[in-house]
């Protein structure tokens, strides 16, 4: 079965009444955890972006605290998983400021981990790629915010 395009889905949803839309959303949320997380964000957390950012930061911090630091191999696996989760939360929000703040916090937590990421090329590369991504996103935000974020970014590097 070939899935319909977004435009086709949008046009079809216009013809549904409220009850049918609710049923569609509920059935969608039953299939994947990610769909349920997205609906949770849209319904409960989208109005309070700062609260959402703080909740995600707490989650990132907890994940970093649970990293197995016995070898760099386990550290790499864990850090990649944390980055995947962080990017998933960024996708839900779609706001550049949220993306910058969460990536900066991810990089801050990477800097705090012991043993240092500087002793491993792969971990250093992950860190540097995120810094470069932050720099690209900074060009898209307002000048005042950009200045504040750039000061914060300098302390990370």
Nearest to 57 by CA among 102, 88, 15: 102
> Alpha-carbon distance 130 to 18, whole Å?
42
Confidence of residue 43 (pLDDT cuts 50, 70, 90): confident
- 53 vs 148 pLDDT, higher one: 53
- Give me the residue spans of the domains in the chain: 46-156
pTM assigned to the model: 0.84
The DSSP result for the chain, as a single string, is -PPPPHHHHHHHHHTS-HHHHHHHHHHHHHH-HHHHHHHHIIIIITT-HHHHHHHHHHHHHHHHHT---SSHHHHHHHHHHHHHHHHHHHHHH--HHHHHHHHHHHHHHHHH-SS-GGG-HHHHHHHHHHHHHHHHHHTTS-HHHHHHHHHHHHHH-
Does residue 157 surpass a pLDDT of 80? Answer: no
Question: Rounded to an integer, what distance in angstroms lies between the CA atom of residue 94 and that of residue 78?
Answer: 24
């Amino acid at each position: 079965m070939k899935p319909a395009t977004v435009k086709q889905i949008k046009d079809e949803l216009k013809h549904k009444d409220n009850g049918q839309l609710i049923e569609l959303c509920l059935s969608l949320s039953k299939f994947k955890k990610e769909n349920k997380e997205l609906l949770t964000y849209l319904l409960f957390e989208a109005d309070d972006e700062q609260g959402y950012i703080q909740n995600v930061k707490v989650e990132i911090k907890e994940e970093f605290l649970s990293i197995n630091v016995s070898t760099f191999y386990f550290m790499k696996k864990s850090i990649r998983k944390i980055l995947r989760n962080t990017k998933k939360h960024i996708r839900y929000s779609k706001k550049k400021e949220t993306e910058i703040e969460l990536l900066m916090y991810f990089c801050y937590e990477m800097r705090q981990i012991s043993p240092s990421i500087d002793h491993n090329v792969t971990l250093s590369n992950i860190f540097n790629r995120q810094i470069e991504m932050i720099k690209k996103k900074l060009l898209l935000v307002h000048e005042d915010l950009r200045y504040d974020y750039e000061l914060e970014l300098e302390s990370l590097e």
